[in-house]
Structure 1
Amino acid sequence: MTVTAPPRNSARPRRGSLIEERPLRHPDTTSPEVMGRRGWWLVVLNFLLPGSAQVLAGNRRLGRFGLAATITMWVIALLTVLTGLLWRPLLLSLATNWLVLLIVQVVIAFYAVLWIVLTVDTLRLVKLVRAGTVARIGVPLLAILLAVASTSAAAWTFDRVNSVRETLSTVFGASGPSVPPSDGYYNVLLLGADSGEGRDSMRFDSISVVSVNAETGATTITGVPRDMGHFPFAPGPMKDLYPDVHEGRVDPNCGWSSGINQLQTEVEICRDGNALYPDAHDDGSSPGVEATKDAVEGILGITIPYYVFIDMKGFADLVDALGGVDINVVERLPKGGGPQYEGQPADDWAEGWIEAGQQHMDGDTAQWYARSRYTTSDFDRMRRQRELQQAILAQMTPQNVLDRFTEIADAGQVLVQTDIPADLLPFLADIAMKAKEQPVTTIELTPENGIEEADPDWALVRQMVQDALHPQTPTPAPEG
């Protein structure tokens, strides 16, 4: 039986069948309608799955590289979401690592450039000269719009990551070693310096301690009056100078009172602060801050390893970055640095007024709300400062922070100085998210709460703090 071999070219498909089976790679270039429809498809595919246009109609090697990069980005995004849901501390640890953030920026920039290259190559594959008039105009316009959308999203993400990295580097650049929580709490000394416009000096006029439960995130803020005097110190250099209580000094050249906000003047100007606290600057602190830590530890009976210093001018910038805060003003308050002489009416020197009632305050108004004291007492001012702290926390919603991220990060760089170690940030961020779900407890060391300004009962103060931080659990009554 004789077998006849098929013709040599019988297995090669005709050009018509190629066009029918693979129109994206082998289109009918003589048909403007086919070329136009092909152009729309390629541009959309390039946007939805960068690299797919090249795999289907162009350089397969470039297309495979683009697809691999795209799939890798999807996998990274999916793993990020899963890590946030299942291992939030790990995600926070990565998100606060300077090197990881830098790598993320490089990856984002590389992928954005790759996307642009793939878009340009896709337009080359479209062969606009063979498409119809509508496609010849619409296809490149759509490609440009989609490219702008994708690169804008990449630029937005790059900018946010860069803001985090710069803020971490600026604010948490120097610090001491991490320490474990004390009695289940991280205690942070919060200092406000009233050095905004209209003031000619730097003083710790707002002194409070933020205590955050290391497990639950429950937060307690204890306010210490700035003029509280004759207080005891915790063991340390100042305790050696004042074994019993702090004393003031009257000296024509350099003097200070016994008030706690005078420690900055005493230690930084009138004494050799570097000799008292030689490691302060290397640990991201200062002698004045360390002396204030020792004082507040002695007053409250708790360990305070870290501080956060907030400048009132930067405070105003932060409030503006958050879009303002809502406060119910109980009493009409003046703006301004105070009277030039005793008895001068407020209307003669006030730069403006904060009217009573519900107010949406910008940064300048909020700053004066915290600073104003010439028509009210320091205890009223402490209350207002605590109100502002809670109002700012209320504004720190995820959506608001995301919408105003760059402004908040920029304000934070000039607002905050701290010695909190960067490696502690993931844990603090995690418990801060827990704290958002709970009310904030406040303790004010004022006469209304039984703490006399002239002669405080230090044992009572420490008991108040312990009762707030470690409330007794009611013992259930026995059955029957």
Structure 2
Amino acid sequence: MKKILIIASIIIGIVGLSVVGYGFYLFKTVKDTASEMHEPIEREKTRLVDFDSREPLSFLLTGVDSSGDEIKGRSDTIIVMTVNPNEKSVKMLSIPRDTRTEIIGRGTQDKINHAYAFGGVSMTMDTVENFLGIPIDHYISVNMEGFKDIVDAVGGVKVENTFSFNYEGFNFPQGELFLNGEKALAYSRMRYDDPRGDFGRNDRQRQVIHGIIQEGAQISSITRLDDMLRAIGNSVKTDLDFDAMNKIQSKYREARHSVEEIQITGSGTRINGIYYLIVPDEEIARVSNELKEHLEIN
């Protein structure tokens, strides 16, 4: 009997050490990933959000065409995401990349996606903030080539395709689809065969991002979690450090259950032979007021 108790104690001890060891490994891996992602910027913020008080906050999400691990070039995707933990809701607004507006820091009118090429994420945040008239608190930039690795790491994403099309060798039938990383990237990039052009592509991009948020939140597999952390570390940059990410995960995570996609519209025109999307002032005001209300800004 004594021998059995000793053996049982050893087994329990080994299991306990394994759990503690993996817990330490996981904590260290997450912290290392956060450190790899962390890229602060020199920018005068409009305000400081108190995470502990669960104040609503905003993010600029940019998807940037790039090669390798470096995030540079023009922003192919510009999404403003507001998070209200009190209402447990998220709002996502895609800004068409051809939108004509003032590029803050250059004093010129240009396509909004050119701000990234001129001055990186800092100039893009300033430009979007000026365009919408709301504070942009934090940013997340994604290397679009690494985007497919993130989708694969969460096990794929579910989307609702509104019409059938072919793109980059893939067929996307109408209806509910489950996409791997390569297909998700192609699905989110197509625009020329879409009757709604950039607006249709923006819808598909928001679908994929929403899918990543939902699938990623449900990950319990150790292998998939490791893969996801590796993919994120290689492809994502943000001004949030580990402590800030931890607080947001703790204080704001319930907001992911209600994600609303909002639209901004305009009309296309050519100026000096270059295509632009012109968004009327009243349309900007409408969207701005909706986001301000969600951010609880008077």
Which of 1 and 2 has greater Rg?
1
Separation in 2 of the partners of 1:326 and 1:454? 30
TM-score calculated relative to the size of structure 1: 0.52
Q: Contact 2:85/2:255 (CA < 8 Å) preserved in 1?
A: no
Question: CA RMSD of the aligned region, Å?
Answer: 3.0
AA matched with 1:427: K
- Is the partner of 2:290 in helix, strand or coil? helix
Partner residue in 2 for 1:467 = 290
Instruction: Establish whether residue 168 from structure 1 lines up as the match of residue 34 from structure 2.
Output: yes
- Structure with greater strand share of residues: 2
- Is the partner of 2:249 in helix, strand or coil? helix
Instruction: Establish whether residue 232 from structure 1 lines up as the match of residue 102 from structure 2.
Output: yes
Q: Contact 2:65/2:144 (CA < 8 Å) preserved in 1?
A: yes
- Aligned in 2, Cα 1:153/1:185: closer, same or farther, shift over 3 Å? closer
**CA-to-partner distance for each residue in 1:346-374, whole Å, 9 max, x for gaps?**
xxxxx332333322111100011111223
- Aligned in 2, Cα 1:315/1:401: closer, same or farther, shift over 3 Å? farther
Q: Counterparts of 1:13-32 in structure 2 under 5 Å?
A: none
- Is the partner of 1:202 in helix, strand or coil? coil
Separation in 2 of the partners of 1:407 and 1:363? 13
Partner residue in 2 for 1:24 = none
Instruction: Establish whether residue 43 from structure 1 lines up as the match of residue 34 from structure 2.
Output: no
- Aligned in 2, Cα 1:150/1:406: closer, same or farther, shift over 3 Å? same
Cα distance, 1:468 vs structure 2:
4.5
Fraction of identical pairs, as percent: 24
Partner residue in 2 for 1:444 = 263
AA matched with 2:285: R
Cα distance, 1:161 vs structure 2:
1.9
Cα distance, 1:186 vs structure 2:
1.5
Q: Contact 2:49/2:137 (CA < 8 Å) preserved in 1?
A: no
Partner residue in 1 for 2:89 = 218
Q: Which has the higher contact order (CA 8 A, sep 6+)?
A: 2
AA matched with 1:462: A
AA matched with 2:207: E
Structure 1: where are the runs of 5+ without partners? 1-36, 51-146, 247-257, 268-286, 337-350, 472-480
Partner residue in 2 for 1:301 = 133
- Aligned in 2, Cα 1:399/1:190: closer, same or farther, shift over 3 Å? closer
Q: Contact 2:264/2:283 (CA < 8 Å) preserved in 1?
A: no
Q: Counterparts of 1:64-463 in structure 2 under 5 Å?
A: 147=14, 149-150=15-16, 152-172=18-38, 174=40, 179-181=47-49, 185-195=56-66, 202-213=73-84, 215-229=86-100, 231-232=101-102, 237-238=105-106, 241-242=107-108, 246=109, 258-265=110-117, 267=118, 287-336=119-168, 351-376=169-194, 377-400=197-220, 404-437=224-257, 439-447=258-266, 454-463=277-286
AA matched with 2:122: E
Separation in 1 of the partners of 2:20 and 2:251? 30
- Aligned in 2, Cα 1:455/1:361: closer, same or farther, shift over 3 Å? closer
TM-score calculated relative to the size of structure 2: 0.80
AA matched with 1:261: N
**CA-to-partner distance for each residue in 1:91-131, whole Å, 9 max, x for gaps?**
xxxxxxxxxxxxxxxxxxxxxxxxxxxxxxxxxxxxxxxxx
- Is the partner of 2:61 in helix, strand or coil? strand
Q: Contact 1:401/1:408 (CA < 8 Å) preserved in 2?
A: no
Separation in 2 of the partners of 1:468 and 1:228? 18
- Aligned in 2, Cα 1:194/1:456: closer, same or farther, shift over 3 Å? same
**CA-to-partner distance for each residue in 1:165-209, whole Å, 9 max, x for gaps?**
211211125456985239x53221110113479xxx932111011
**CA-to-partner distance for each residue in 1:134-179, whole Å, 9 max, x for gaps?**
xxxxxxxxxxxxx4x5554444334312211211211125456985
Q: Contact 2:150/2:231 (CA < 8 Å) preserved in 1?
A: yes
- Structure with greater helix share of residues: 1
Separation in 1 of the partners of 2:148 and 2:233? 13
Alignment length, in residue pairs? 276
Structure 2: where are the runs of 5+ without partners? 268-275
Cα distance, 1:214 vs structure 2:
5.7
- Is the partner of 1:205 in helix, strand or coil? strand
Q: Contact 2:61/2:79 (CA < 8 Å) preserved in 1?
A: yes
Separation in 2 of the partners of 1:212 and 1:191? 17
Higher mean alpha-carbon deviation, 401-410 vs 296-305, is at 401-410
- Aligned in 2, Cα 1:455/1:226: closer, same or farther, shift over 3 Å? closer
- Is the partner of 2:214 in helix, strand or coil? helix
